[in-house]
Amino acid sequence: MTQCFTHLAREKIEAGGSVVYGESESRLKPIIVPCSQKEVQSSGSDVNEQTESQLSPMPIPFSQWEDQWHSSAGCVDEYLIDPEELDDSLNSLPAQAARDGPHLSQSCFTGTQEIIPKLEDANHVVAEAGMLKFSWQYEKKFSYSLLNVAESAVDTMSFERDANGFLELNSSKFNCHMKASNSLNLQSRVPQDKQYMAQVSQNVMLQTSDGPLNEWDRNYPQYLESFDSVEACEHGAERSKILGPAEDVDRDQRAIRRHLQFGATMVWNGGATTSSIDNQSNPTKVVVNSMLPARFRNLKDLVPSSQNESIGISSRGKPVSYHNTVTPTSSCPSEFVGSTRNVGDLPVPDFTPSSLSSMARSVSMHSNMFASKNLAGYMSSQEKHLATNEGQNLANYSNINSVTTIAAKTNVHTHMDDDEEETHAVEAATSASLPVADRFEELNKESSQRKREKKRVTGTSESEGCKRCNCKRSKCLKLYCECFAAGVYCVDCCACTECFNKPEYEETVLDARHQIQSRNPLAFAPKIVKSVTDSPANLVEEGNQTTPSSARHKRGCNCKKSKCLKKYCECFQARVGCSDGCRCEGCNNPFGQKTAILLHNAGFTGAERWENPCHQKLDTKETVTADSIKAGRMQCSPNWKELANIIHGTPPVSHQHLGSVTSSSNPDAGNSSNVSPIDLHCRRSYQPSVGYPPWSCSPLSLATELSEGMPPQELGCHIPPYGILKDGDTPEILRVTSTPPKAVKAYSPNKKRISPPQHQPQGSRSSYLPSLRSGRKFKILQSMPSFPPLTPCSKSKDCSDVTGKDHRGGSTSSQ
DNA sequence: GAGTTTGAAACT
DNA sequence: CAGTTTCAAACTC
C-alpha cells in the first residue's frame, strides 16, 4: 500500500503567542513556522502580517533542522483538505484567526488563573517516510519518544520549561537543543525507507487571562495545535471509502469538527513526493491514519474552532451550540489507540463500545476541562452518557466558569437524562465559591457515592458504557488500574478509592508514570497492536466489535488455567488471537490460537515449540505436525510470527550488524524465494544504523507493521495464504529499501527459534537465537536503551526510562 | 454481593 | 531474573 503521511490541511501555527494559520503559501515548506522565519516560510498572508507583532522574539533554530534534513522536494506539503469541503466558516478561519490572534494573545497569556487541561498521554503513530513535525507551546512537560523501526532506534526527547520559563528541548538524536519562549517547533524528516512509531505525551498548562473563561475556552482551540494530525494519503483512496458516505461524513464532521483540538501537533508530511503531489492535486484522496475515529478525522475536525462558528450540527442533525466549545484531545489512550480497524484499505478506529469508551476516557484525561460532551454527541448513548459525565464533571472540576458549564450542559442536554441531577449538583458545586481543590474533593466524594450507588443498582457501570476501575489499594497509580494503564484519569464512574489518578494530582500521576516507564518505556503503549494497513478482510467480527485479525497482544498472555477462553486472558479480552508472544498453556483462544508444535528435532526433543506456520515456507527443514494443522492451530499471523522471529533473532546477534552476517549462517540464505516479505521487510529494516543496535526495532511498530499479513482466523475472517503478502499488501518499507537483499539473510529466525524459555537450560539462551519468546523479546526491546540520550536529558527520569532496566518483563513467563 | 479464581503487575 | 507477593478484574455461587 502506497502510503504517505501528510499533515492537516491547515496548519495552525503558533508562534510567540499568536496563532498563524499556515495556508497554501507554505506548501513547499511544510514547516510549522517559528515566528522569526515566518516571513521566509510563507509568502505572507494577512494572518501572518497581523500576527507578526505577536510573534515570539525568540526564534527557533529551524535552520539547524533544515540543514540537516530539509529537503523540500522530499517533503512537499500537502493540504489534505479539499477547499470545497470546507464550509464558509472554515474557509474564513485564517482571516478570523487574524482577527482573533491579537485578542487571544492578550487574553491568554497574561492571566494568572491557571487551568490545567490535561493533554497527557500518548498518541501512538506509525508513520512512514515523511516529515514529522511538532509544534506546541505552553507545555509544562512534553515528552516525545520516537521509535525508529527501520533503524531500530529509540529516541526520547523531553521538553520542559526551564527556570526562566523557556521551553527547552534537548535531543541528541536530532542534534538539537532548542529554546523558545512560547512555542517550539520541531521537525524531523523521516527517510522514505524508514518507519517510525512516535509516541507523544505531553501536559499542557495554560494560563488564562482575567477575562471570561468562556472567552478563553472559545479561543483555546486556536492555541492548541491539532494533536491528532497525522495524516496519510494514498493514491486512489476515495474519501468516501475512508470516511463513509460523504453525506454522513459531512454531517458528522461538521458536528464534531471543532471539538477535536489538541494540545500539540504531530504532523507527518508525506515523504513520498509523488504521492504528495498527487494528493495535493487531489486532496480528497485522504487516508487518515491516526487514532481517531474516521468520522473525526476529516481535516475539518482539525481546523480550529472559531467564535464565529458557533453552530454545529449534532449527530442527530440538531443545531448545537458550540460557542463554549470543549476541546477533547485526540491523544488517545493506549487501549483506544490500539483499537483501530480498517475500512477499505485504511485503518480506522474501532468504534466498538469499548473503544468509544476508551476514547471518551481519553478525552477526559487529555482535556479535563474540555469535556467530551460534544464528542459524546457522536457516540452511542452509552458513550455519550459516559462522555457527558466525565466531561461535565471534569469541566467543573477544572474551574470552568458557570457560563461554560451551562453552555456545556446545553450541548449535552439531550443525553443528560438521569445524569441531570448530578449535573445540577456539579454545577451548584462549581458555582460555589469553594476553592477548586475543596470543590473537587467534595464533588469527588459525592461522585464516588453516586457512582457506587449506581453501580450497585445497575450491577456494573460497564452497562452504562462506563467501564472503569475499582482500585482499592493501588491508588490508581499503578498499571493495575485500568484507567491509569490506559493513560486516562479516573472519572466519575470509577469506583476506586484513594484515587490519585486525577487531574489534581497531576504531578503524582506523572511521577507514577515516569516510574513505571522507567521500568518499561512502553508500558503505556497499546497492548494490542495491529497493522495500520489492516484490510477489512482482516477484520474479525463478533457481535458489535471488530478486531483486526492481525491484531495481537503486544506482550502476549500467560494463561495457565483459563486456556485463553476467559477474560482473564488479555488476548481473549482484547479479542485477538494468541501468538508466539504468548506463554499460555492449552491455548484455546477462539480468536486465534497459539501454535504449539512439538519439535522433535535433535537437540530439542521434548521441547514444546511454538511454531509459526508460515515458517513452513521459510524453513522446510522444520517439521510441523499435520495434526497441528488439522487441528486448526496454525492460526497465527505469519507476520506476527515473523515478528516474533525477528525479535527472537535480534539480541543474540551480539550487536553485529545484521547486514554483515553472512548468509551462510542462515539456512534460508541463498533462497530468497523462501524469504517472506515480512522477513525482507524486517531484515531490510535492520539496516545498520550508526550507533543503534540493529535489533532495536520497536516491537510495537514491528508488530504493527508486520501484522499486515492476513493471519488465518477463526470466526469467519478471511484467510489468506500464509506468508504471502500480495503486492499491494507489501508495506512500502518493503519496497523502498536501500539495503541489499542479501543483508536480509543475516539471520533466520526459524532456525534457532526453538523452545520456550521455561524449557531452556538457563544460560543457554544466547547459544541459539530465539529461544526467547517474543513476549520476552518485547520486553527486551522495550528495555532497549534509547538513543544515547544525546540530550542532556534534563529529565533524569526520562533518561532512565529508556536506558531501561526493565529486564523483569518476562518474569511472569515463568509462572 | 461475597468469596474465589486468575493472571498481570509489582516486588524481592 | 526467577520466584513471590500484591492487586484488581473476572468469575462463581
Q: What distance in Å separates the CA atoms of residue A302 and residue A292, rounded to the nearest whole number? A: 11
What is the per-residue pLDDT for A499?
Answer: 87
What is the per-residue pLDDT for A508?
Answer: 85
Indicate the range of A293-297, A468-472, A551-555, A586-590 predicted with least confidence.
Answer: A293-297
CA of A451 to C1' of C5 (A): 31
Q: What is the mean pLDDT of residues A495-505?
A: 85
- Strand B and A480 CB separated by under 7 Å: yes
What is the per-residue pLDDT for A513?
Answer: 85
**Separation in Å, CA A567 to CA A234, A476, A564, A571, A661:** 37, 21, 8, 8, 43
> Could you identify the residue whose CA is nearest to the C1' atom of nucleotide C9?
A568
Q: Where are the domains of chain A?
A: 467-526, 551-594
A539 band by pLDDT with thresholds 50, 70 and 90: low
Mean pLDDT, chain A, as a whole number?
40
Task: Identify the residues numbered 304 to 363 in chain A whose C-beta atom is closer than 7 Å to any atom of strand B.
Answer: none
Residue pair A216/A209 in contact (Cβ under 8 Å)? The answer is yes
CA of A712 to C1' of B12 (A): 42
What is the per-residue pLDDT for A472?
Answer: 87
CA of A615 to C1' of B5 (A): 37
What is the per-residue pLDDT for A332?
Answer: 36
CA of A496 to C1' of B2 (A): 18
Residue type, A366: H
- Which carries the bigger pLDDT value, residue A442 or residue A551? A551
What is the per-residue pLDDT for A727?
Answer: 33
Residue pair A769/A752 in contact (Cβ under 8 Å)? The answer is yes
* Minimum CA–C1' distance nucleotide for A462: C9
Statement: residue A184 has pLDDT above 50: no
CA of A563 to C1' of B4 (A): 18
pLDDT, one tens digit per residue, over A297-331 is 332 332 333 333 322 323 333 333 322 323 333 33
* Minimum CA–C1' distance nucleotide for A583: B7
pLDDT, one tens digit per residue, over A377-417 is 223 333 333 333 433 333 333 332 332 222 333 233 333 33
Whole-structure pTM over 0.75, yes or no? no
> Could you identify the residue whose CA is nearest to the C1' atom of nucleotide B12?
A808
CA of A207 to C1' of B9 (A): 37
Radius of gyration of chain A (CA): 25
> Residue A170: CB partners within 8 Å, gap ≥ 6?
A157, A158, A176, A177, A790, A791, A792, A793, A794
- Strand B and A517 CB separated by under 7 Å: no
What is the per-residue pLDDT for A500?
Answer: 87
Statement: residue A497 has pLDDT above 70: yes
Specify the DSSP class assigned to residue A541.
E
What is the per-residue pLDDT for A547?
Answer: 56
Chain C: nucleotides under 7 Å from a protein CB?
1-11
Strand C CB shell (< 7 Å): A 469-476, 478, 480-482, 566-568, 573, 757, 762, 807-808, 810-815
Q: What is the mean pLDDT of residues A276-289?
A: 25
Dihedral over Cα of A121, A439, A430, A355: its sign: positive
What is the per-residue pLDDT for A576?
Answer: 84
pLDDT, one tens digit per residue, over A210-244 is 222 222 222 222 222 222 222 222 222 222 222 22
Angle at A615 between CA A613 and CA A618, to 5 degrees: 150
Dihedral over Cα of A363, A364, A366, A372: its sign: positive
Q: What is the mean pLDDT of residues A183-203?
A: 43
Report the percent of chain A where pLDDT is more than 70: 13
A466 band by pLDDT with thresholds 50, 70 and 90: low
* Minimum CA–C1' distance nucleotide for A815: C3
Tell me the sheet residues that pair with A644.
Answer: none
Q: What is the mean pLDDT of residues A63-70?
A: 29
What is the per-residue pLDDT for A546?
Answer: 53
Q: What is the mean pLDDT of residues A242-250?
A: 30
Chain B: nucleotides under 7 Å from a protein CB?
1, 5-12
What is the per-residue pLDDT for A526?
Answer: 74
pLDDT, one tens digit per residue, over A8-62 is 222 222 222 222 222 222 222 222 222 223 333 333 333 333 333 332 323 222 2
Alpha carbon A761 to its chain centroid, in Å, reads 38
pLDDT, one tens digit per residue, over A743-763 is 323 333 333 333 333 333 333
A33-37's contacts with Cβ under 8 Å and 24+ in sequence apart are A33/A62, A33/A185, A34/A59, A34/A60, A34/A62, A34/A180, A34/A183, A34/A185, A35/A59, A35/A183, A36/A60, A37/A62, A37/A63
Q: What distance in Å separates the CA atoms of residue A774 and residue A777, rounded to the nearest whole number? A: 5
What is the per-residue pLDDT for A214?
Answer: 25
Statement: residue A690 has pLDDT above 60: no
- Strand B and A456 CB separated by under 7 Å: yes
For residue A463, the SS3 value is helix
**Separation in Å, CA A392 to CA A255, A304, A313, A320:** 19, 22, 20, 16
* Minimum CA–C1' distance nucleotide for A810: C1
Cell numbers placing A89 = 466558516
* Minimum CA–C1' distance nucleotide for A519: B10
For residue A383, the SS3 value is helix
- Which carries the bigger pLDDT value, residue A214 or residue A561? A561
What is the per-residue pLDDT for A467?
Answer: 60
Query: Concatenated DSSP letters for A36-61?
Result: HHHHHHS---HHHHHHHTTS-SS---
- Strand B and A811 CB separated by under 7 Å: yes
**Separation in Å, CA A270 to CA A2, A74, A262, A287, A633:** 11, 8, 21, 11, 40
A688 band by pLDDT with thresholds 50, 70 and 90: very low
A88 band by pLDDT with thresholds 50, 70 and 90: very low
What is the per-residue pLDDT for A585?
Answer: 85
- Strand B and A519 CB separated by under 7 Å: yes
- Which carries the bigger pLDDT value, residue A691 or residue A560? A560
- Strand B and A478 CB separated by under 7 Å: yes
